[in-house]
């Protein structure tokens, strides 16, 4: 029940945030203008690299908190959290120094368009302070995830998004500038993370985060797990954050905007599905700690199937109706938006979202491996894919342009996930291609076929462009998908519910529940 509640709460929160984003993005783009908004995106892309300084300790907190909380090992839990807190304090100092350095060299970057250099430098510094504060306090968010209170963490994030939305609309009307936007994000970040701290202590009354609790032995124990989590984190950021920087440096900040719009739409579909993997991490850790291998396998298969049907449904919907979305969401709001921008945006969206049909189910496998302590090989796979992505993006950006950068992401993401990560995860978790197809993918096909038919029929009527029409189409598509999925599931589902043990009479082959779960994994 905890797994289902966490996923559903995450989705509800994401729907709220997505709706807010639908209104906020075109408003900010119109208030700042394409050039200034491009500068904002470029600064945030550079700031995103500070996440590499987490060095994989975020996943470490989640896994070790889940393990020690389940065993009620409170001293060990406090030592781990305190050690990571100490690391984050040091890294926050690095962020502040890096922000000051970037602000100092900003005059030589020459990528700021018509934006005032002083305001660009101030925005860089404010973003640095916001990032540093969020880094120090993020350990408490890891505590909530590790104790499987993702629902509480998501509620805080949703509330912060609502406040941010209100402030952006109120204050950008008064003074539309990079400084105003940066101050809003800083204030909301402080409030959001203060709530994470408060509720982490409410959730674990025995929690004690102090630098005096830091032990070298604890850091050494965590290091074997963390170093490979750090590699995976580096790979993730090279894969998803580098494209914006490459485009900004090679083609200018205005070229970033169509790519960023497509990426934002892709993230609207991708983010709620990432919550499935996020919820799987502590659940896999718990099932691994208690030796429930069969339940782990079946839960992984169900979550993989859920990720597959939802991301494929998003791709189908965007394939038919993304032109309508881009037109009413962005093109009509920004006078500087051109038909070429729309064409580029739609091409990038199709490529990026198509890659996610493979990447999102693979994320479930990756988080399951992470939850059971197997991080070494997946980390090297991710790093290899990221390096190939960077090389292809640099090779394609000048010859093919922005669309080439998207292909530079698609090719390694699909090949590495499908032919390297998935076979390895099947072997380590205890499933197989045939099991994944039968229990994960095959039950989703009727719902996807029904949605495809619905979209073909609706598109044949060539509906006019407008929010009522688009929302009605989306609601109808969701109803068709959900109804077909529910009817199919009611006939094909096994007796097991999410997060519960399966029926012993199931025809699915049993997985032994004793002995080591994996070989070659990095254990604490």
Q: How far apart are CA 126 and CA 60, in angstroms?
A: 28
Q: Burial level of 228, CB count in 10 A (0-12/13-18/19+)? A: buried
Q: Does pTM surpass 0.75?
A: no
DSSP result, 437-472 = IIIIIGGGHHHHHHHHHHHHHHHHT-PPPSHHHHHH
DSSP result, 297-357 = HHHHHHHHHHHHHHHHHHHHHHHHHHHHHHIIIIITT-TT--HHHHHHHHHHHHHHHHHHH
Residue-wise pLDDT for 215-244, tens only, equals 777 777 766 666 666 676 677 767 767 788
Q: According to the model, what pLDDT value does residue 516 have?
A: 33
Chain mean position to CA 155: 17
Q: Are 401 and 347 in contact (CB under 8 A)?
A: no
3-class DSSP assignment, residue 397:
helix
Q: Are 358 and 417 in contact (CB under 8 A)?
A: yes
The three-point CA angle 146-165-183 to 5° equals 85
Query: Which residues, including other chains, have CB under 8 Å from residue 145's CB and lie 6 or more apart?
Result: 61, 62, 65, 153, 278, 281, 282
Query: Which residues, including other chains, have CB under 8 Å from residue 217's CB and lie 6 or more apart?
Result: none
Q: Which stretches in the chain have pLDDT values below 50?
A: 1, 495-524
3-class DSSP assignment, residue 409:
helix
- Sign of torsion, CA 234 237 240 241? negative
**How many Cα neighbours within 13 Å face the side chain of 50?**
28
Q: Which long-range contacts (CB under 8 A, 24 or more apart) does 75-81 make?
A: 76/218, 77/204, 77/206, 77/207, 78/206, 78/207, 78/208, 78/209, 78/213, 79/213, 79/214, 79/215, 79/218, 80/218, 80/222, 81/139, 81/142, 81/143, 81/207, 81/209
- Sign of torsion, CA 277 57 141 71? positive
3-class DSSP assignment, residue 431:
coil
Q: Burial level of 218, CB count in 10 A (0-12/13-18/19+)? A: buried
Query: Which residues, including other chains, have CB under 8 Å from residue 397's CB and lie 6 or more apart?
Result: 246, 247, 250, 251, 404, 405, 408
Say what the alpha-carbon torsion angle 444, 450, 456, 461 is, to the nearest 10 degrees. -140
Instruction: Report the run of H or E that residue 167 belongs to, with start and end.
Output: helix 150-174
Query: Which residues, including other chains, have CB under 8 Å from residue 10's CB and lie 6 or more apart?
Result: 150, 151, 154, 272, 275, 278, 279
């Amino acid at each position: 029940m905890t797994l289902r509640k966490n996923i559903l709460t995450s989705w509800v929160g994401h729907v709220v945030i997505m709706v807010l984003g639908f209104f906020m993005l075109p408003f900010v783009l119109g208030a700042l203008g394409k050039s200034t908004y491009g500068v904002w995106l470029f600064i945030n892309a550079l700031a995103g690299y500070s996440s590499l300084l987490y060095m994989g300790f975020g996943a470490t907190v989640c896994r070790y908190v889940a393990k020690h909380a389940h065993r009620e090992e409170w001293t060990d839990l406090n030592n781990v959290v305190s050690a990571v807190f100490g690391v984050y304090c040091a890294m926050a100092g690095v962020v502040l120094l890096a922000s000051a350095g970037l602000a100092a060299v900003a005059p030589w970057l020459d990528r700021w368009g018509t934006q005032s250099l002083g305001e660009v430098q101030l925005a860089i510094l404010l973003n640095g302070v916001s990032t540093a504060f969020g880094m120090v306090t993020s350990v408490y968010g890891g505590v909530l995830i590790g104790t499987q209170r993702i629902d509480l963490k998501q509620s805080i994030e949703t509330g912060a998004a609502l406040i941010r939305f209100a402030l952006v609309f109120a204050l950008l009307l008064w003074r539309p500038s990079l400084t105003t936007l940066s101050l809003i994000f800083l204030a909301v970040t402080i409030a959001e993370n203060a709530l994470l701290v408060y509720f982490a202590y409410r959730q674990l009354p025995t929690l004690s985060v102090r630098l005096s609790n830091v032990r070298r032995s604890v850091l050494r124990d965590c290091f074997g797990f963390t170093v490979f989590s750090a590699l995976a984190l580096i790979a993730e950021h090279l894969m998803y954050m580098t494209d914006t920087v490459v485009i900004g440096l090679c083609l200018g900040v205005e070229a970033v905007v169509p790519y960023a719009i497509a990426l934002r739409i892709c993230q609207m579909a991708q983010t709620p599905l990432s919550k499935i993997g996020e919820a799987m991490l502590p659940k896999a850790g718990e099932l691994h700690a208690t030796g429930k291998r069969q339940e782990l396998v079946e839960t992984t298969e169900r979550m993989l199937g859920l990720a597959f049907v939802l991301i494929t449904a998003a791709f189908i919907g965007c394939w038919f109706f993304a032109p309508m979305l881009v037109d009413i969401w962005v093109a009509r709001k920004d006078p500087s938006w051109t038909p070429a921008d729309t064409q580029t945006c739609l091409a990038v969206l199709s490529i990026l979202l198509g890659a996610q049909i493979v990447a999102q189910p693979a994320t479930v496998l990756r988080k399951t491996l992470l939850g059971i302590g197997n991080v070494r090989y997946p980390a090297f796979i991710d790093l290899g894919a990221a390096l190939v992505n960077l090389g292809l993006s640099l090779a394609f950006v000048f010859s093919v342009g922005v669309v080439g950068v998207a292909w530079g992401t698609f090719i390694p993401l699909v090949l590495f996930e499908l032919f390297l990560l998935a076979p390895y995860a099947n072997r380590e978790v205890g499933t197989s291609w045939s099991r994944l197809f039968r229990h994960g993918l095959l039950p989703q096909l009727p719902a996807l076929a029904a949605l495809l038919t619905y979209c073909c029929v609706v598109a044949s009527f060539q509906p006019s462009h407008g929010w009522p029409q688009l929302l009605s189409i989306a609601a109808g598509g969701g109803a068709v998908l959900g109804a077909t999925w529910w009817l199919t599931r009611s006939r094909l589902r096994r007796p097991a519910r999410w997060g519960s043990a399966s029926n012993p009479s199931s025809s699915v082959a049993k997985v032994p529940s004793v002995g080591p779960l994996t070989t070659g994994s990095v254990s604490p």
